[in-house]
Amino acid sequence: MARVVVVSNRVAVPNRDGTRAGGLEVVIGSYLKRNQGIWFGWSGRTVAKGEEVTRKVEHAGVTYITTDLLRADFQEYYNGFANRMLWPILHYRLDLAEFSSRDMAGYLRVNELFADRLKPFLKPDDVLWVHDYHLLPLGKALRERGVENKIGFFLHIPFPPPDMLTCLPKHERTILSLCHYDLVGFQTNNDADNLADYLSHECRMPSRDRRTFIAGSRTLRIGVFPVGVEMAEFERLARRTKRTAVVREVLNSLSERSMIIGVDRLDYSKGLGLRVRAFEQFLGTYPRWRGAVTYLQITPRSRSEIREYADMERRIDETVGRVNGRYGEASWTPIRYVNRPYSRTTLAGLYRSSRAALVTPLRDGMNLVAKEYIAAQDPEDPGVLILSRFAGAAVECQAALLVNPYDQEAVAAAIDQALSMPLDERCGRHSALVKVLSENDIKDWGPRFVAALTNPAEAKRWSRRASG
Ligand code: ADP
* 218-244: pLDDT as tens digits: 999 999 999 999 999 999 999 998 778
Q: How many residues does the chain have?
A: 468
Q: What is the spatial distance between Cα 275 and Cα 281, in angstroms, rounded to a whole number? A: 10
**At a CB cut-off of 8 Å and minimum separation 6, what does 465 contact?**
none
Q: Which helix (H) or strand (E) holds 241?
A: helix 231-241
**At a CB cut-off of 8 Å and minimum separation 6, what does 18 contact?**
none
Q: For 172-228, how does the pLDDT look when each residue is reduced to its tens digit (9 = 90+)?
A: 999 999 999 999 999 999 999 999 999 999 999 999 999 999 999 999 999 999 999
- Tell me which residues have their CB closer than 6 angstroms to ligand 1: 19, 21-24, 26, 263, 265, 298, 300, 341-342, 347, 366-369, 372
Residue 281: alpha-carbon gap to chain centroid: 28
For residue 133, report the phi and psi dihedrals to the nearest 5 degrees: -65, -15
Q: Which of 192, 200, 228, 230 is nearest to 459 (CA)?
A: 192
Residues forming the active site:
156, 364
Q: What is the mean pLDDT of the chain?
A: 93
Q: For 410-423, how does the pLDDT look when each residue is reduced to its tens digit (9 = 90+)?
A: 999 999 999 999 99
Q: How far is the CA of 298 from the centre of ligand 1 (A)?
A: 10
* Single pTM value for the model: 0.94
- Residue range 10-39: mean pLDDT, rounded: 76
For residue 212, count CB atoms less than 10 angstroms from its CB and return exposed for 0-12, middle for 13-18, buried for 19 or more. Answer: middle
Query: pLDDT band for position 377 (50/70/90)?
Result: very high
- Residue range 363-391: mean pLDDT, rounded: 97
Taking 50 as the threshold, does the pLDDT of residue 18 lie above it? no
Q: For 434-453, how does the pLDDT look when each residue is reduced to its tens digit (9 = 90+)?
A: 999 999 988 889 999 999 99
Q: How far is the CA of 84 from the centre of ligand 1 (A)?
A: 21
Q: What is the spatial distance between Cα 404 and Cα 407, in angstroms, rounded to a whole number? A: 6
Neighbours of 282 (CB within 10 A): 26
37 — alpha (psi -120 to 50), left (phi > 0) or beta?
left
**At a CB cut-off of 8 Å and minimum separation 6, what does 391 contact?**
359, 361, 363, 364, 366, 367, 370
Q: Which of 390, 387, 350, 389 is nearest to 371 (CA)?
A: 387
Residue whose CB lies within 8 A of the most ligand 1 atoms, among 156, 250, 265, for a mutation test: 265
Q: What is the spatial distance between Cα 343 and Cα 15, in angstroms, rounded to a whole number? A: 14
Residue ID of nearest Cα to ligand 1 atom 9: 23
